[in-house]
């Protein structure tokens, strides 16, 4: 485990730059000799660092998404002139892992799942996100109502 590192402007700048390139905080901590918990404390104590960290993470997410596109767009390996299915599956796993991590780290931007908030306050109307499959939602609601009413 890395030993505690003194916070320096040089360390902060390198971490922020490399986060923006898509590297993970844990990997940077191992390489640069700081513990991610210490980084979290520094971010919590310094509003300017917190803003820079959030920005670097946002840009880093885009860098990871770009890397996923590059992986999937690359020409697959060939064996005896034929596409190697093992290589294709390996690339697919790499891309899926990156996309799943992005969906966890920034669900509003990268998650394929959408949520619907239903209000129950008087005068409040039902609002449905335009990205939701309205036909499927309507069918599911009508089936639920039929099941509830015993029809």
Picking from 6-10, 14-18, 50-54, 111-115, which range would have the lowest pLDDT averaged per residue? 111-115
Task: Return the CATH architecture of domain 9-110.
Answer: Orthogonal Bundle (1.10)
CA distances from 101 to 4, 111, 135 (A): 27, 10, 29
Q: How far is CA 120 from CA 123, 124, 125, 143, 149, in A?
A: 8, 7, 8, 21, 21
Q: Which pLDDT does position 3 carry in this prediction?
A: 56
Query: pLDDT tens across 70-103, in order?
Result: 999 999 899 999 999 999 999 999 999 999 999 9
Distance, in Å, from the CA atom of 29 to the CA atom of 115, rounded to the nearest integer, reads 35
Q: Beta-carbon neighbour count of residue 136 at 10 Å? A: 9
* Three-state DSSP state, 83: strand
Summarised one tens digit per residue, pLDDT across range 120-141 is 566 666 665 666 666 777 778 8
CA dihedral 58, 62, 65, 69 (to 10 degrees): 180
**Which of the four pLDDT bands, split at 50, 70 and 90, describes residue 1?**
very low
Q: How confident is the model at residue 45, as a pLDDT?
A: 95
Pick 56 or 143 by higher pLDDT: 56
Question: Contact 53/42 with Cβ under 8 angstroms?
Answer: no
Express each pLDDT in 11-59 by its tens digit: 999 999 999 999 999 999 999 999 999 999 999 999 999 999 999 999 9
- Backbone phi and psi for residue 94, each to the nearest 5 degrees, phi listed first: -60, -45
Q: Which residue has the higher pLDDT, 5 or 79?
A: 79
pLDDT, residue 114, reads: 64
Q: What is the greatest pairwise CA distance in the chain?
A: 69
- Give residue limits of the domains in the chain: 9-110, 114-151
């Amino acid at each position: 485990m890395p030993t505690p590192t003194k916070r320096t402007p040089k360390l902060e700048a390198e971490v922020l730059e490399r986060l923006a390139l898509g590297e993970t905080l844990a990997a940077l901590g191992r390489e640069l000799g700081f513990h991610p918990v210490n980084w979290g404390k520094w971010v919590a104590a310094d509003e300017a660092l917190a803003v820079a960290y959030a920005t670097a993470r946002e840009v880093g997410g885009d860098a990871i998404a770009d890397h996923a596109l590059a992986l999937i767009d690359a020409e697959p390996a060939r064996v005896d002139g034929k596409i190697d299915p093992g290589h294709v599956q390996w690339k697919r796993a790499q891309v899926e892992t990156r996309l799943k991590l992005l969906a966890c780290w920034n669900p509003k931007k990268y998650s394929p799942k959408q949520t619907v908030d239903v209000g129950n306050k008087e005068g409040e109307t039902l609002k449905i996100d335009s990205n939701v499959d309205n036909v499927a939602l309507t069918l599911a609601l009508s089936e639920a109502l039929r099941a509830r009413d015993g029809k």
